[in-house]
Amino acid sequence: MDAFRCSQCGALSSNPSTAAFDISVAAGMRYYTLLHTNEPPEHFETPFIHSVIAKTEARLQCIDDEISKLQEKLDQLEKERASLTGYRTQNNGILSPLRRFPPEVLGEIFSRTLPSLDDEWDRGRFSTEHSPWLLTHINSRWRTIALSTPSLWSQVLIAYTQARDPLTSAYPLSLAEAQLQCAHTLKIHFDGRENGDSRTQIQMFQLLSQHCSKWEELSLFLTSEIAPLLTALRGRLSSLRRLWIQWDPDDHHASDIRTTVESLDCFLTASSLVDVGVNDICRLASTVFPIQQLTRYELFGPWEQHKYVLKLAPNLIEARIQIEFDEEDEKDEGGSFICCTFGACIYRVHDS
């Protein structure tokens, strides 16, 4: 076998990367004493020490060169390994059972990944990193199936609150439009706020209104800027089944609402509406709905309003009644909550 000599230190080895460099020193020698004590060398010993240092540095340089060559080889092998690992994964993917799943099965699996309404509220910001948007970024097949599964896109939450950063919580209009187009039915949760950007809120609500024929559920936190837009919805809410309306209690434009909206009667023609909730704590406008067809309602307001609804609602199954007492009513408490289940004759009364 050929021997190799290090060009720097002169060491011989069958493999230059393993060439030996003997640094052992026998005990009892003067050199051993100098290595293991603090004695200074004699003047005639100095050249020898310099020569040892020179040879050591030469060998270190030789080793560094070998390490560099081996590191380059290692980098090449690691890159090749990563490439082959990815290639193997791609080939295993060809055999994946997911490729054989019918689209309707994948669609059902996708539906189990949707966040709950509470989770969306807690997250506090719009992100394409969550379902259903995330499903459109996995591969082309998943994207096609996700976009063609309307139920994935039904829940739409738009929230404008002072605590949320508009730069992170804002729902881009273009993406909102895409979601509305994908859905066949819509469950809209629109949380408008007087302390938010009214222009942005109006644009978003107008976009949602273009698809109001798909609305099955509407939860609406009203502001003075949004309320006038409801008049355009009259006669266009044939699919609406559930409704919840609340006024912003921090509204500083109550007089504007009184002058611009005398009655919210756009819901009167909602032929499918059977479940209504209204928190009209400010009594700023009268909300009108088809009482005769209601099976459930929840209302916070004076007792006179409840009596009016109860007399005209023969199909009621459940009523959740919150009573607001006037100052002349000699009550220690501010009100009471009554849960009435009709037909079964079950009544529950809770003082608040």
pLDDT, residue 256, reads: 53
Is the pLDDT at 14 greater than 90? The verdict is no
Measured distance CA(346)–CA(352) in Å, rounded: 19
Measured distance CA(351)–CA(348) in Å, rounded: 10
- What is the 8-class DSSP label of residue 115? P
State the chain's mean pLDDT as an integer. Answer: 81
Please tell me the least confidently modeled range out of 83-87, 160-164, 196-200, 303-307: 160-164
Average the pLDDT over 122-146 and give the result: 90
pTM above 0.95, yes or no: no
Token duo for residue 42: 């004699």
Beta bridge partners of 321: 299, 338
pLDDT, residue 284, reads: 46
pLDDT, residue 301, reads: 75
For 254-334, strand residue ranges (E) read: 263-264, 275-279, 286-287, 296-301, 318-324
Which has more confidence, 190 or 121?
190
For 302-337, the pLDDT digits (tens) are 788 888 888 899 999 999 888 765 555 444 444 455
The tally of CA atoms less than 13 A away on the side-chain side of residue 159 is: 18
Is the pLDDT at 244 greater than 70? The verdict is yes
For 155-173, the pLDDT digits (tens) are 999 988 655 554 445 788 9
